[in-house]
Structure 1
Amino acid sequence: MNTLHPYLQSSLGGLLIGLASWWLLAALGRVTGISGITAALLPGRSTTPTGDRAWRLAYLLGLIGGGALFTLWLHPPVTALRPLPLLALAGLLVGFGTVLGSGCTSGHGVCGLGRRSLRSLVATATFMGAGFATVGLTRWLG
């Protein structure tokens, strides 16, 4: 199975993300918004109950561990490395966007669209449009 075409690997990943999102909603009544799940674990967020912190930490560790295991198993295509300052800037911009948009791609794009949320539709169209424009601009600039 470690010779799957990259599109099949992506499809498998999407299926697993959808299943995990549904499972979290069905089991705990929670939306899988990774930025919100992560933010509640940051220091200074004392309003998050201890039991609530446990499932959040388990979920994030499962995402990281599952990604690592699937990488070892499926050998995804290698992508070009980018300079650390560029990655840090990109991370800050993504973080700013999730605060500005009141959520991230998982919360709006995966869960919100599945619940037919108009707000999530607008947010998803906005961040997808910005992503398309960024790719187009970087390719145009060379």
Structure 2
Amino acid sequence: MRLLRGLRVLHSLGIWFWLALPLLGLSFWVSSGLMSDRILSRPYGTVAQLEADTQLEVNLAVTILVIKAEIYKKQGFTKVEVKTTKSALTKLEFQFPVTEFNQVESTIAQELGLSLADIRKLVRYQVVY
């Protein structure tokens, strides 16, 4: 009984309702696709230009434990390893194109922003021939 009543309600809506429903869905699908394509392909202006050629300078407050300098005389460079404490940054590594002790100390002092006296207290040398 209920089935017959449901069929009568569907039949009373008419064929035009059932034909219009897929056309309505198709029109929504096509229009939303065109609208999203237009929005996503629209160019956006940048507020500021990106600069990729600049170097970033970071100043960190760290406590230095020891500075280990390995001087490679034949190759003509010094590899420096700085160990720190109480920081997220526990080790720094540098490579300098100098092999003399005074030059190494002044270069490390300049790089770390410390005095020569502080560097001389912390640095340990190893000469590799």
TM-score past 0.5 threshold: no
Q: Which has the higher contact order (CA 8 A, sep 6+)?
A: 1
TM-score between the two structures when normalised by the length of structure 1:
0.18
Larger Rg: 1 or 2? Answer: 2
TM-score between the two structures when normalised by the length of structure 2:
0.19
- Which has the larger share of strand? 2
